[in-house]
Amino acid sequence: MQSQGDPRVLLVMNLVLSLLFASVVLYGLDFAGVVAFTWQRLAGATAVLMVLTFLVIR
């Protein structure tokens, strides 16, 4: 029997890692002058990454 882990821990890890990745990507795009870094874009990008990660692991 294999444990799947606590879903709350997986959710928090997904949130933190998605937030970090989205912030690095948005900062790089802002630095390159492609898009401006805003908190709304960061929240949206984090949400999109969380959903994509959830779909891929299921």
pTM of the model: 0.85
CA–CA dist 16, 11 (Å, integer): 9
pLDDT tens, per residue, the chain with 58 residues: 677 778 899 899 999 999 999 999 999 999 999 999 999 999 999 999 999 999 998 8
Contacts of 7 (CB under 8 A, 6+ apart): none
Per-domain residue ranges of the chain: 18-57
pLDDT at 58: 81
24's tokens = 């690095």
| Amino acid (1-letter code) at residue 58 | R
